[in-house]
Amino acid sequence: MATVSEQEKGSSSKAAADDDRMDERGAERAKLRISRFDSLTSLFLALILFLGAFVFMMFVVWLLSGEPKPLALAPIIENPAGRGENPEGFERDFEPPGAEEVEDLMEPTLADTIEAVTDAVSSVAASLTTSDTNAAASTAGTGAGDSRPPGPKGEGDDIIGRWERWELTFNAKGKKDYAQQLDFYKIELAAFGGGGANVIEMASNLAGSPKKTVNTDPPTEKRLYFSWKLSNPLLQFDRQLLAAAGIQYAGRNVIRFIPAELENLLANMEKEYAESKGKKFPHDIAKTVFESTSNGSGFEFKIVSQRYRKGR
């Protein structure tokens, strides 16, 4: 009986030990079980990691792509009317004389010649200012004159060319500020003429160390250019910058070449401005004044005034 009792005690203690181990394992499992707090924390951590990786990838793409480029503007091509191969003169086209003009073409008598010479001498001062033409002036005839201004060949459109209707102004605190504006717009200063070699000498990188380039074939230069109407401080800056590039400017024409991109940008600005005023572009425009201003990160041209042709 004693032996049985000891066996029962041994089995009871073993069962109790097994129960204790089961309780410990259950407690450990409970500790390892994922709570709702752990689930939410993991979700937020995953989202933060995903967003961080996405932002980093976008930053790398931005670094590799460089500065964003603006959308290319549609080129605006103009064809102003011009003389071309047509001869200059009072009449646009040749016409045979009428019956009333035949008498003027007949050989005059000596008395008529002397009288005509006397009349011509007394009126030559007035007749010289009646027309800006290379033809011989005369008050006879009914011709209205050649209405086409000098310019490209062909009839073209009834518009005023950009070189005549555009005016570009700059506001500069000094030579360096002015040079920075020219470099920003990629405008080159140039000098030509003056009795020397038939070349165009140009200066760029004006705000740093001016660089000189020479075009030995001027007819190949197709860029639009402007010159100052009156003497002003900016003209003196132009000359100083040309001298810094080693370009002789005395007795020569000093001009500014406008790059094609800037010309097209100004044309689109002018078109938008004119159409906002209910005007037809470019037929109604007589003058557009652009002004260079600072915009914080650089410079930009703005339209400060626009005049229109009479009757339009």
Beta bridge partners of 294: 299
**pLDDT above 90: percentage of residues in the chain:** 42
Tell me which of 24 and 150 has the higher pLDDT. Answer: 24
Q: Is 129 a residue whose pLDDT tops 80?
A: no
Residues 130 and 242 in one domain: no
Q: Is 106 a residue whose pLDDT tops 80?
A: no
| Most confident listed range (12-21, 44-53, 124-133, 184-193) | 184-193
Distance, in Å, from the CA atom of 9 to the CA atom of 243, rounded to the nearest integer, reads 116
b/e 32-70 (16+ beta carbons within 10 angstroms → b): eeeeeeeeeeeeeeeeeeeeeeeeeeeeeeeeeeeeeee
Residues 166 and 142 in one domain: no
Q: Is 301 a residue whose pLDDT tops 70?
A: yes
Residue 234 gets which letter from DSSP? Answer: H
Is residue 30 in some structural domain? no
Given a contact cutoff of 8 angstroms between Cβ atoms, the answer to whether 202 and 214 are in contact is: yes
Residues 133 and 166 in one domain: no
Is residue 248 in some structural domain? yes
Q: Which of 102, 123, 147 is the last residue of a domain?
A: 147
Mean pLDDT of 10-16: 64
Tell me which of 78 and 96 has the higher pLDDT. Answer: 78
Q: Which tens digit of pLDDT belongs to each residue from 268-279?
A: 999 999 999 999
Domain count, the chain: 2
Tell me which of 171 and 288 has the higher pLDDT. Answer: 288
Strands (E), the chain: 166-170, 188-192, 200-204, 211-215, 224-226, 253-258, 285-294, 299-308
Residues 106 and 204 in one domain: no
Residues 169 and 251 in one domain: yes
Given a contact cutoff of 8 angstroms between Cβ atoms, the answer to whether 289 and 229 are in contact is: no
Look at residue 292 in the predicted model and tell me its pLDDT: 95
Residues 188 and 140 in one domain: no
Given a contact cutoff of 8 angstroms between Cβ atoms, the answer to whether 283 and 157 are in contact is: yes
Q: Which tens digit of pLDDT belongs to each residue from 212-257?
A: 999 999 999 999 999 887 778 899 999 999 999 999 999 899 999 9
Residues 95 and 215 in one domain: no
Q: Which tens digit of pLDDT belongs to each residue from 152-207?
A: 455 678 899 998 999 999 988 899 999 999 999 999 999 998 877 789 999 999 99
Is residue 173 in some structural domain? yes
Residues 291 and 170 in one domain: yes
Residues 202 and 262 in one domain: yes
Look at residue 283 in the predicted model and tell me its pLDDT: 92
Residues 303 and 167 in one domain: yes
Beta strand 285-294 with 299-308 is antiparallel
CA dihedral angle for residue 234, residue 235, residue 240, residue 244, rounded to 10 degrees: 100
Q: Comparing C-alpha atoms, which of 167, 160, 190 is closest to residue 301?
A: 167
Residues 267 and 168 in one domain: yes
Is residue 57 in some structural domain? no
Output the CA–CA distances (angstroms, integers) from residue 129 to 90, 123, 125, 137, 138, in the order listed.
Answer: 14, 11, 7, 9, 11
Is residue 24 in some structural domain? no
What is the pTM assigned to this prediction?
Answer: 0.57
Beta bridge partners of 303: 290
Q: Is the backbone peptide bond immediately before 282 cis, with ω within 30 degrees of 0? A: yes
Q: Tokens representing 288? A: 């557009």
Residues 217 and 293 in one domain: yes
135: domain range? 88-147
Mean pLDDT of 46-59: 90
Look at residue 141 in the predicted model and tell me its pLDDT: 40
